[in-house]
Amino acid sequence: MRIVVTGALGHIGSRLIRALPGFFADAEIVMIDNMKTQRYASLFDLPAEGHCQFIEDDVTSMDLESALSGADAVVHLAALTDAAASFEHADEVEQVNFVATKRVAEACLQVGVPMIHASSTSVYGTQNDVVDESCGEEDLNPQSPYAETKLREEALISELCMSDGLHALTFRFGTIFGTSPGMRFHTAVNKFCWQAVMGEPLTIWSTAYDQKRPYLDLADAVRAIVFMVENKLFDGSIYNVVTTNATVREVVEHIRRHIPNLHVDFVDSQIMNQLSYEVLNTRMVNAGFQTQGDIGSGISNTIKLLSGVKAR
């Protein structure tokens, strides 16, 4: 089994490359990352099982066909993922995210390799209380340049599957929580854990406290990728992957169990709306996959890893 992972040293990728050898005996894991975030530690202590190859290069410009040829699957995770920051860097997000996805998809098509494309539940923006993959166009209302680009990527992948025979699928991942060597702290749960441990106020968007949103345990994200590779379900479909739907208030209360003296600061953001909705894993459930994660445990593990730090 040969699996290529782009963005391999990031939050999801650094956990995935450690898990894959445990699922696929003697797996060859090809890791591609441009190292712009300097996550060198993501390469420390890789598992002895399997065979790991690292390619320091940029998917927006490298010779992808040579790197992908002979693979059993490509997991495309390379992306700029900070939705709030994307307002200030819309052109860069377009280049890094959409152009990279187009190049990877076209290379997969050329060499006959199936592809897993990572999108986001941030493409939703619905007036309905509950939404799944069968929703109408009116329920897709991205609130940031990042989410707008992800929606365009989804359309590109779908078109290449239907018109050119690309074997691929798209995951709409909920907001990731959980630990990894390459984890970042710009999304809700991880950011709040960091702020709480550092003794800082939790900065929360003023309209978001009681809005329900989808969250995904990193372990469930990894298991979903493995499940689709094992079952070869590259059917051109879009699959939601969400562990739980929760309000920010509920997330804060989970953190408060470990750090009682929390202070919350409500702030304004360019991503501001009054929508509250749940996202369902309808297609993944129908395929036989069930999430197993728990947001309380994810928060507990993150805080424990930071517990040796003393804030000033």
Can you give the pTM of this predicted structure?
Answer: 0.93
Q: Residue 184's pLDDT is what?
A: 86
- The answer for residues whose C-beta is within 8 angstroms of residue 91's C-beta and 6 or more apart is none
**By C-alpha distance, which of 104, 18, 28, 21 is closest to 68?**
104
Residue carrying structure tokens 């999108």: 119
* Model confidence pLDDT, tens digit, residues 113-164: 999 999 999 899 877 889 999 998 888 888 788 888 999 999 999 999 999 9
Task: Look up residue 270 and give its DSSP letter.
Answer: S
Mean pLDDT of 85-97: 68
Q: List the beta bridge partners of residue 177.
A: 217
| Under 8 Å between Cβ of 95 and 152 | no
Top-confidence residue, 273 or 144: 144
Distance of CA 87 to the CA centre of its chain: 19
pLDDT band at 88; cut points 50, 70, 90: low
Residue 311 pLDDT grade (very low, low, confident, very high; cuts 50, 70, 90)? low
Q: Of the segments 40-49, 126-135, 301-310, which one has the largest average pLDDT value?
A: 40-49
Instruction: Determine contact, residues 121/172, Cβ cutoff 8 Å.
Output: yes
More confident of the two residues 36 and 283: 283
If pLDDT is split at 50, 70 and 90, which confidence band does 272 have? very low
> Which of the residue ranges 137-141, 206-210, 278-282 would you say has the lowest mean pLDDT?
206-210
pLDDT at site 270: 55
**What pLDDT is attached to residue 266?**
86
What percentage of the chain exceeds 90 in pLDDT?
A: 73
pLDDT-derived band at 176 (thresholds 50, 70, 90) equals very high
HSE value, Cβ hemisphere, 13 Å, CA-based, for 181? 18
**What's residue 114's pLDDT?**
98
pLDDT category of residue 87 using cuts at 50, 70 and 90: low
pLDDT band at 81 (very low <50, low <70, confident <90, very high): low
Closest CA to 9 of 47, 54, 62: 54
Across all residues in the chain, what is the average pLDDT?
A: 90
Alpha-carbon distance 74 to 9, whole Å?
15
CA 75, CA 71: separation in Å to the nearest integer? 10
Task: Write the burial class of residue 15 (CB in 10 Å: 0-12 exposed, 13-18 middle, 19+ buried).
Answer: buried
Q: Where are the beta strands (DSSP E) in the chain?
A: 2-6, 28-33, 51-56, 73-76, 115-120, 130-131, 168-173, 175-177, 202-205, 212-217, 238-241, 244-247, 264-267, 278-279
Q: How confident is the model at residue 83 (pLDDT cuts 50, 70, 90)?
A: low
pLDDT at position 274, please? 54
Q: What is the pLDDT of residue 137?
A: 86
Whether the pLDDT of residue 86 is over 60: the answer is no
Q: 59 with 99: CB under 8 angstroms?
A: no
